[in-house]
Amino acid sequence: MPGTAHTRIILASGSPYRRKLLQQLEIPFDCISPEIDETASSLEQPDALALRLSKQKAQAAANQLTPLEEPAIIIGSDQVAACDGKVFGKPGTKEEALKQLTWCQGKIVTFYTGLSLLHLGSSKQITRLCPFSVTFRNRKEAQLKAYIQREQPLDCAGSFKAEGLGITLFKSMAGKDPNSLIGLPLIDLVEMLEQFGIELL
């Protein structure tokens, strides 16, 4: 197996949310912030986009590394939100965040999180799609603006910050792992690490 007790773990993300989640597994890891173009190609579906971006993030992080003496596993993850055929990325501005949240009122929003693990040396890569759905409450515009002002969810797909006040926007949730809402599905990650021989217990 490519994994050993001395395998270096690298999180291909600058997200403090993903970093905090990975710390829950109590394994040492490093972070690299990869730069990739997150623009969707023509007619690309949200699930395919999330998978592609997670793979590209892992590979982009690998490209930033010099040849290593020790084995390493790079974790790439990306999230795309979709509702009624409309795909939502990171809003970037408060105005766009309000548009996204207004669109989702009373609807079901699906968050597609792509998770990709790349082993340097063997070049083995495994990837999974981790969907999670939420039903949005109907909120007044003033409430949405208050949420945006307090949480500043400008770097969150669909403007949802589930680890904060974003939970107040949800009526119900359905899926395998609520951690995927924050951008790193830990249940699937543990299973994938074990495929590389990384045992956490």
**Active-site annotation, residues:** 78
Q: How far apart are CA 22 and CA 11, in angstroms?
A: 8
List phi, psi (to 5°) of 176.
-75, -40
Q: How far apart are CA 118 and CA 160, in angstroms?
A: 28
Residues forming beta bridges with residue 33, ordered by sequence position: none
Contact 80, 46 (CB under 8 A): yes
Contact 42, 24 (CB under 8 A): no
Helices 141-151 and 94-103, axial angle in degrees (round to 10): 130
- Give the SS3 label for residue 50: helix
